[in-house]
Chains A and B, each alone.
Chain A
Amino acid sequence: MSKMIMTEAKLFLREPGGLIFAILLPLVLLIGLGNVIPGLREANPEMGGQRGIDGYFPAMMTILSVVTMALTVLPGTLAAYREAGVLRRMSTTPVSPIRVLAAQLVNNLAVSVIATTLLVVLGHLFLDVPVPKNPLPFVGVFLLGTASLFAVGLLIAAVAPNAKSAPAIGSLLMFPLMFMAGMWFPREFLPDLLQRIGDFLPLAPFGQALRDTWAGGAPQPLNLAVMAVTLLLFGGLAARLFRWQ
């Protein structure tokens, strides 16, 4: 299994796209925009007197990294493997192609962990972003949210008709989800209805719970519940619908 994970990791590193969009872009945005936009470093009465960089902004960059891996890189790779017959070839060996899937999940999780760690550490060093004040709930929220998005990605991989359409479907879903989650401006500025809808979609609860725990608060139960349901529902559907060839 370790050889499979190593091989998949090497293959991931050979595709610069994944690294750029999942690790570099959020990091550059965090530090670049954090320095350029003064409003992010001032207390904002609309956000209860918090500064943007206290939770909102780094949380958005974290979900940007995770959602990129989960909705485009993961389904794209798996659908391409299925289309090329990589999974079919593996099914002729004593090893089940489920291991490829597992190796993919491990590697995608590793990338998300690395990206998030870099965001926390470098954000703190270069932008004075506070380190999450409530580390255990923060890590818990991160793992639950990441798992729920991976489940969505697996379902995309399961239902995408071919290798090209999988990342395309992922991107198509990603933008409205990111908008609802407050990627371009905080959710507080969205109309109430959109905020309510966002509460029940996969990404916004993750972003909100990360913000809350980053700033030292507790995650809201509704957010946790939506993430957990997403994980079970989408994960269950993916397991049911996934085709190996």
Chain B
Amino acid sequence: MKVIEVANLRKRYRDRLAVDDVSFTVEEGEIFGVLGPNGAGKTTTVECVAGLRTPDSGTVRVLGGLHRDALKEELGVQLQSSALPEKIKVWEALDLYASFYSRPADWNALLERVGLADKRDARYGKLSGGQQQRLSIALALVGDPKVAILDELTTGLDPQARRDTWDLIEQVRADGVTIVLVTHFMEEAERLCDRIALIDSGRVVAVDSPAGLISRVDRQQTVRFRPSGPLDDAVLKALPEVTGVHSAGGRVEVTGTGDLLLAITTALAAAGVVPADLRVEQATLDDAFLALTGKKITHGDAR
């Protein structure tokens, strides 16, 4: 079932065109990534989806065409740079936001789930960045939504807090919430998303799975290793997956496609050779983005 359908979305602000032509659909139960550099139009796009902005043209259908309050009941949104009053306590914020919805989730359970149960009485201003983000996720989920939009969720978090947040998002999806994840952070998109819309300068460059996007650029992989004993290059060259073998100084570099690594290790095992320092290099989403747009995504502070 299609949960979100966006067609030919266009939005101009007074001085610039934020979204030129964006179309995509989000299926029920998936984690859908909206990936692109800063200023690509990601936030404007999801703000239009969330009903916070009116597009100049194009259509947005969420959950079969919900609008206004009915839409906001079913759509949880965590926006960039939206804080809470410094002195509000964690439980007060959840209790207050739960009161905004007609069928709220049990916020006590939510507090457990996001790992803030012991911070119940802490004030918002005293929480760490990661804790504030987790509270933010909890607030986006407190209305028991069918869809959650999470914008630049892990920007500014340290690596540990970022990984914890990723785990949390995967749990939320496991509960059946469809998630739209806006990010300019490649690793995050690659790790979490089922499908990604690559956005650049207000346009969708491609929509595909992370692996699908990567395979569009370069089907070629490179495997490097140090053989434990003498190895005839012909053993590897004979493999259908292999397109090239280069050995020098006790190191072997093999290029190829498909299940290259499995083919090589099987062949090496048959030849009685153990590969040491085995490494596989594949194209990344970064390479895909570069190839598709001619630009590099700026990592910013997400690096």
Contact = CB atoms under 8 A, between A and B. Distances in A.
Interface string A13-26: 01100000000000
Interface string B61-89: 00000000100110111010111110110
Given A7-B88, A7-B92, A93 B83 contact: no
Would you call the interface of chain A mostly helix, strand, loop, or mixed? helix
Question: Chain A: interface residue count, which band?
Answer: 20 to 34
A95 B77 CA distance: 13
Interface of B: 50, 52, 69, 72-73, 75-77, 79, 81-85, 87-88, 92, 95-97, 99-102, 139-140, 143
Contacts of A84: 82-85
Given A3-B95, A95-B100, 7 more contacts: A3-B96, A14-B87, A84-B82, A88-B81, A90-B100, A92-B82, A93-B100
A93 B81 contact: no
Nearest to B89: A10
B101 A4 contact: no
Contact of B79 (A10, A85, A94): A85
A93 B79 contact: no
Highest count of chain A CB atoms <10 Å: which of B69, B76, B99, B102: B99
A86 interface: yes
B139 A89 contact: yes
Given A7-B96, A85-B82, A92 B87 contact: no
B96 A4 contact: yes
Contact of A92 (B79, B81, B83, B102): B79
A92 B72 contact: yes
A193 interface: no
A92 B95 CA distance: 16
Contact of A93 (B87, B92, B101): B101
Contacts of A95: 100
Contacts of B92: 7, 10
A91 interface: yes
Contacts of A85: 79, 81-83
A92 B79 CA distance: 9
